Structure 1
C-alpha cells in the first residue's frame, strides 16, 4: 500500500464487531483466501448503502408514525446513541414488536446503483476485495436489511452498535465503544475502528493491502477517511457532509487530506472506478 498511513506499528487487540465463526478447516481455508485479497473496502450504512437514515425510519413503527415532543426534546448533540436507547424503549412500551421493526428496516430503499456495486463486489470478493461495514446505526437494523436484500455475504465483518432483544422482546441498544476523539459522537469513532482493523488484518495477512477504499456520506465518515494514504481512495457521496468536509479541508489546509477523492451520486460510479483499478 506504499505511502498509506495504515502501515503503523501499533498492535491492537482483536477488534470488536460481529463475532467471527469458530475456527475450523473451512474457516482456515477462508482466512488463507482472505490473506490473498488485494483491496480492503469500508462502507458506511445510513445514506450510503441505504438511501435513508435507519434511526429516522424506525419512527415509522411508532403510533401515528411520529415520536412525542417530550421524547425528541431529550436529544443532546453527540449523544444520539443514548437518545436512540430511549426511542427504542418508547417503541417497546407502545407494543412495537421485533417483526414490526424488522419490517420497517426491510422497506428502506438502497441508494441509487448500490445493489449493482454490491453485486460486483460479491462476484469479485473471492479474489480481490475484503468488504467491511462500519456504521453508527446498530447491528439489528443493518442485519435485517442486508439479509432481506440478499447481500449479507458480501461483508466480511460488521462493526456497529450492538442491539439485541431481551427476554421481554425489547430491543436493547448499547454503545459500540468509548474513545477520546473530539470529532466523533461519544459512542463510536470510526477512525479508531478502521485503524485497529487494518492493523490487525495486516498482521494476520503478513502484508498490507495494496489499497484501502472508504465509501461514505456523513461527517463521521470524514474522520476515518483522514487516515487514508495517497494511494487509497475516498468515495464520498456527492454534496453530503463527508464530501463538503473533504473539500473544505483541501481549501483550508492543502495536503492534510491525502487520499484520492472520487465523489459519487450513483454507486455504479464507484463500481466503474474499482473496475478501472482492477484493470491496471
Structure 2
C-alpha cells in the first residue's frame, strides 16, 4: 500500500491560536513582551518571558494549566484520529516549543497519533524554570534561510524528513503539508509532484504562494477556518488513496458530515477534482 506522511504546523493550524501569545497574555507579561519584541529574536524573547514568569512566582504547573485552556476544534481532533487510525504517518513541524506542544497534545489525547514532533527544544533547569532553546543554534551559525526565523528553517527540516522517509526502504511515500505561516511556505517548496500542500487562505503562506505560483510543485488544497480544516484534510487523504488506487472507495477515510462543516464535505472524487489552483498575483 502506498504510504502518506502528513506534516502539520501547530500554532494557527492544529490550534487556532498562537500558543506563545496565549501564555504571554494569560499570565500577564504582555507589556514586557511588547516592549522587548523589537530587540531580540522571537525564540530568545520567549525564553526571556519564561524567566520573567519564574521571577513572578509562576510555576511549570501554572504554565501547563494555562496551555490546557487553549481550545482545540473537535473537527480537527477527529480528523487527526481518523487519519492516524487509517495508517497515515502524522508529524508536527512547528516553531513553537516542545513543552507547549506536548502539553496541549497530551491534554487532548492526541500525542500518540504523532510519530515525530520537530520543534524548538525546551528543558526545565535546576531552578525549575522552563527554558526554550532554538532548534538551530543561530548563535554559532546561521541556517541561511531568509524566509524562516533564525531559530528554525522548516525547509531544512522537511528535507531531513524526506531523506529519512526515503531511507526507510518503503516506496511511494508522499507528503501532505498543512500550515499557515511564511516558514510553512519554505517547507512547502520542498514538496514534490504528487504531494499535497494545504495552505491556510489569507494567511502569510497563501500570500507567498499567490505571489510565487510557479514555485510550488505540490497540488494545493486551501482551507480557512479551523472548523473546515478537518474535512479538507480527510478529503485530501481520500484524494491521495483514490489517485493511487490503493484502496477501494468503501475503504476510504470516513468524513463525518454531521460533525464537519457540510459545505466542505466532498466525496473523494470531488476532492481530487477540486484541487484548487492558486490565483496569480494582482498586477
For the aligned pair, the TM-score class normalised by the smaller chain equals 0.7 to 0.9
Structure 1 runs not aligned, ≥5 long: 1-35
Q: Say which of 80, 99, 115 aligns to 2:77.
A: 115
Establish whether residue 104 from structure 1 lines up as the match of residue 69 from structure 2. Answer: no
| Cα 1:77–1:50 shift into 2, 3 Å | farther
Runs of 4+ aligned structure 1 residues displaced above 4 Å come to none
- For residue 142 of structure 1, report the CA deviation from its aligned partner: 0.2
**Conserved? CA contact 1:61–1:100, under 8 Å:** no
How many Å apart are 1:61 and its aligned residue?
4.3
* Residue 208 of structure 1: how far off its partner (Å): 4.8
Aligned to 1:215: 178
Residue pair 2:84, 2:90 contacting (<8 A) in 1 also: no
Tell me how far 1:169 sits from its aligned partner. Answer: 1.2
Partner of 1:245: 208
Rounded to whole Å, the distance in 2 between the matches of 1:138 and 1:277 is 31
CA distance in 2, matches of 1:239, 1:44: 16
CA apart distance, 1:199 = 0.5
- Residue matched to 1:151: 110
Root-mean-square deviation over aligned CA pairs = 1.8
Q: How much has 1:258 moved relative to structure 2?
A: 1.4
2:45 aligns with: 83
Matches within 5 A, 1:1-280: 38-62=3-27, 65-69=28-32, 71-76=33-38, 79-111=41-73, 113-125=75-87, 129-178=88-137, 179-209=143-173, 211-250=174-213, 255-265=214-224, 266-267=228-229, 268-280=231-243
CA positional deviation for 1:67: 2.7
- Residue aligned with 1:279, SS: helix
For residues 30-87 of structure 1, the C-alpha deviation after alignment (integer angstroms, 9 at most, x for no partner) is: xxxxxx761111100000000100000112442xx34334x42222488110111111
Are 2:29 and 2:53, in contact at CA under 8 Å, matched by a contact in 1?
Answer: no
With structure 1 as the length reference, what TM-score do the two structures score? 0.79
Structure 1 residues 213, 109: closer, same or farther in 2, change over 3 A? Answer: same
Q: 8 Å contact 2:29–2:49 — kept in the other structure? A: no
Q: Which moved more, 1:150-159 or 1:162-171?
A: 162-171
Q: Deviations over 1:182-222 (max 9, x none)?
A: 2111110011001011102211225351x211000111101
Distance 1:47 1:226, change over 3 A: same
List alignment gaps of at least 5 residues for structure 2.
Answer: 138-142, 244-283
**Greater RCO, CA 8 A, separation 6+:** 1
Tell me how far 1:276 sits from its aligned partner: 3.0
| Paired residues of 2:2 and 2:171 also in contact (CA < 8 A) | no
What is the TM-score of this pair, normalised by structure 2? 0.78
Distance 1:247 1:113, change over 3 A: farther
